[in-house]
Amino acid sequence: MLESVSELTYAIVLCEDMDLMKTFYRNLLPFPVVTESATSMSMDAGGVLLGLRLRDRDYDGRGGGSESPGVQLAFLVSPEDVETCHQQLVEHGIEILEPPTDQPRGHRTVYFSDPEGNVLEVYAEI
């Protein structure tokens, strides 16, 4: 169908509160900020840009979590780092949705959410 598409280069999280979300993602991830404006920010996530964009279009939906269009973001770490990441998240008061778990698909995961209810995952291949 879209045969000319060759790669995914950008993933965007739609946001209600840009300042809150910028602070959260800056503090959470070691990725450098590539661009930033009052209504957006993008970070170099190693081959893919991770973007934040203010919900300001009619088709963006409203609210976080299950009320809005959403994407689950997964961040790869080494197997021994899943526990370390979990502990760091807990220490910073970030809501854990599912503690470290070995999944049948061969991943060890920890699920958590950002301030607007988007699902985030740290995982390792095991």
Q: DSSP letter at 115?
A: T
10-125, what's its fold? 2,3-Dihydroxybiphenyl 1,2-Dioxygenase; domain 1 (3.10.180)
pTM over 0.85: yes
The one-letter amino acid code at 42 reads S
Using DSSP's 3-state secondary structure scheme, residue 65 falls into helix
Q: DSSP letter at 93?
A: T
**What are the boundaries of each domain within the chain?**
10-125
* pLDDT tens digit sequence for 90-114: 999 999 999 999 999 999 999 999 9
* pLDDT tens digit sequence for 58-80: 877 766 656 665 678 999 999 99
d(CA 69, CA 14): 8
The one-letter amino acid code at 62 reads R
Is residue 73 within 8 Å of residue 11, measured between CB atoms? Answer: yes
